[in-house]
Amino acid sequence: MKVLIIGVDGATWDVLDQSVLENCMPTLQKLKQTGSSGILESTIPPLTPAAWTTCITGCRPHIHGVVDFKKYSFQDNSVKLVDTTDVQVPTLWHYLDQQGYSFACLNVPFTYPPFPLEKGIMVSGFGCPGTTAEFTSPPDFKSEIFSHIPDYSVGLGQERYPKRKYGLGNDEITFRTTMGILIRRLNQRLELAQFVQTDHPVEVMMVQFQPLDLLQHLCWPYMDPRTRNRYRWQRDQIFEFYRQLDHVIQQLVSMVNLAEGLVIVASDHGFGPLNFSIFVNQYLQRWGYVKRANPWSRLVRRTRRNIIKRTRSSGQKMSLQRKYPVNWSKTKAIAVRCPGYGAIYLNVKDRQPHGSIQPGKEYIDTIQDLKHRFQGLVNPHSGEKVFDRLATPGELWGNQEKYCEAYGDLLLLPKEGYDYHTSLKKRSHFIATLRDGPFRASIHYPQGMYVINGKDIKREYQTPAHIADLVPTLYSWLKISIPAECDGVPLLDVFEENPHCVQQKTQRFPSSYTSKDQNTPKIHEGKEALIGQLQNLGYLE
């Protein structure tokens, strides 16, 4: 194998610190010492679908089109779960396909349905409805997987993990059982990679591992270097998990001759403590931007929603008219998606079905007023400003109209230690402190990690990078031109000598590169269960 990319969801040097590397992860430690490494800046927002799609396209989310777990539509004021039909640019795999490389993309999140490619193998990861779906390309590769790995599961599998807000707890049996499942998930990916390499040798392989992200959500106090030594047996279990992860990395790396090849280990985002939750729509309601529906229509909405919930067979569109108890013709702005950032949508005439704001002056004035109000919010628990930075997509990327459907008309940019909610349920406080709760929660931080090691790569070198930079760096290493769609830049200073790399305008890929038609009902099968799992894991409200 020439190139191996190992994706470790949620990995950060803040957790995989020197002590963990020395005690539990000798392979990662060695790769770092004998290669180049650094902090890998994640996407806005630092969420798994956005960041891995950036990793495999070399484009930031406003270009590739996958911003978070769900995608909002102006046309019918609805959201739907993202999948590969939402990816607007060719991926690394399309490019390698075109260039004639053999490759395997194994378990990368939100690669369902797999892209229909000429050559190569794709096995969807986290975000795929499960093993009953057509999660491989070519489709008959699925039966090969089960003949080699009868218990193979996609992503995190179908297990019901503990809820994020309670964590994994202190029950040793539950703890050990969950660890056993997650370690098995690591080994399933290794076994998959090993049989691919034996039966269908490829030049470029990417393998992704999801369990570390879940563990950091569920076990933050036992993993945070500031607190882990207080919880001896839990910490030791986690350390055992790191050893298993390192063993898997070591086995994968052994497939590459580092004197000739290239290994990249990268994460999609980092992690850190979650201190405060902000209920954004409560503020919008107080300021008169969200108008509640009257009690009678709220009852009708709830009844209708429950019937639809029972009868809906697919995870297709979810109308916000049903989700929020809101009078849409009087509502002017609402936060629609708030996982790691706040996405505020204005309700604009002729853009959304019950638009109430006039485009032009009223639109601009509303954004200014909202900015002013949000900027003035102070956290009563800490005395600090709640929002450091607010921006419109136009201010961030130069085109408001083009990017506001994906990102919202106004973005409350992520602030470390904060998360944002859209709930309109009555509550006395709009900012909840989580610092003193029974379970110390965590959230994605933008600082992920990467290591690059192999032929022509500097040893013991450190430099920060952006996750969009990895794919252009790989193209440079392969000495192939960088497609015009990439907005990441190659990390030239990790090379011992400047490689041949030309930012070359390539031909636009034909539109047929995208996956099957979005209207194919088959790709929605099982998405209800997936939505349930994502909600349980805390990724969706």
Q: List interacting residues with Zn ion (CB under 5 A).
A: 9, 48, 213, 268
Is 71 or 524 the residue whose CB approaches Zn ion more closely? 71
As measured in angstroms, the least distance from the Cβ of 382 to Zn ion is 27
Is 203 or 541 the residue whose CB approaches Zn ion more closely? 541
CA distances from 401 to 43, 70, 87, 172, 395 (A): 20, 19, 19, 53, 11
Answer whether 234's CB lies under 8 Å from 222's CB.
yes
The sign of the torsion formed by the CA atoms of 355, 66, 61, 12 equals positive
Residue 407 CB contacts under 8 Å (≥ 6 apart), including other chains? 62, 67, 343, 393
Q: Which amino acid is it at 519?
A: N
Answer whether 267's CB lies under 8 Å from 47's CB.
no
Is 211 or 483 the residue whose CB approaches Zn ion more closely? 211
The sign of the torsion formed by the CA atoms of 434, 540, 343, 449 equals positive
Q: Using CA atoms, how far apart are residues 347 and 72, in angstroms rounded to an integer?
A: 13
CA distances from 135 to 153, 290, 532 (A): 11, 41, 19
As measured in angstroms, the least distance from the Cβ of 269 to Zn ion is 5
As measured in angstroms, the least distance from the Cβ of 467 to Zn ion is 11
As measured in angstroms, the least distance from the Cβ of 9 to Zn ion is 4
As measured in angstroms, the least distance from the Cβ of 12 to Zn ion is 11
As measured in angstroms, the least distance from the Cβ of 524 to Zn ion is 23
Helices (H), 254-314: 280-286, 295-311
Q: Using CA atoms, how far apart are residues 450 and 470, in angstroms rounded to an integer?
A: 9
Is 48 or 366 the residue whose CB approaches Zn ion more closely? 48
As measured in angstroms, the least distance from the Cβ of 109 to Zn ion is 7
Please identify the residue of the shown chain whose CB is closest to the bound Zn ion.
48
Is 156 or 451 the residue whose CB approaches Zn ion more closely? 156
Is 48 or 111 the residue whose CB approaches Zn ion more closely? 48
Q: Using CA atoms, how far apart are residues 111 and 509, in angstroms rounded to an integer?
A: 18
Is 96 or 223 the residue whose CB approaches Zn ion more closely? 223
Is 72 or 445 the residue whose CB approaches Zn ion more closely? 445
Is 46 or 355 the residue whose CB approaches Zn ion more closely? 46
Q: Hey, what long-range contacts does 256-261 have (CB within 8 A, 24 or more apart)?
A: 256/1, 256/2, 256/3, 256/4, 256/454, 258/453, 258/454, 258/455, 259/455, 260/2, 260/454, 260/455, 261/1, 261/2, 261/3, 261/4, 261/454, 261/455
- Strands, E, within 287-391: which ranges? 318-319, 333-337, 342-346, 390-391
As measured in angstroms, the least distance from the Cβ of 223 to Zn ion is 15
As measured in angstroms, the least distance from the Cβ of 449 to Zn ion is 12
Work out the angle at residue 340's Cα, subtended by the Cα atoms of residues 337 and 341, and round it to the nearest 5 degrees: 60
As measured in angstroms, the least distance from the Cβ of 45 to Zn ion is 11
Is 182 or 386 the residue whose CB approaches Zn ion more closely? 182
Is 41 or 213 the residue whose CB approaches Zn ion more closely? 213
* Residue 69: burial class (beta carbons within 10 Å; 0-12, 13-18, 19+): buried
Question: DSSP of 41-62, one letter per residue?
Answer: E--SS--HHHHHHHHHHSS-HH
Is 328 or 445 the residue whose CB approaches Zn ion more closely? 445
As measured in angstroms, the least distance from the Cβ of 363 to Zn ion is 34
Residue 23 CB contacts under 8 Å (≥ 6 apart), including other chains? 239
Give backbone dihedrals phi and psi of 244, rounded to 5 degrees, phi first: -65, -40
Residue 284 CB contacts under 8 Å (≥ 6 apart), including other chains? 290, 333, 334, 335, 344
Is 129 or 155 the residue whose CB approaches Zn ion more closely? 155
As measured in angstroms, the least distance from the Cβ of 48 to Zn ion is 3
* Residue 381: burial class (beta carbons within 10 Å; 0-12, 13-18, 19+): middle
CA 32 and chain centroid, separation: 24
As measured in angstroms, the least distance from the Cβ of 47 to Zn ion is 7
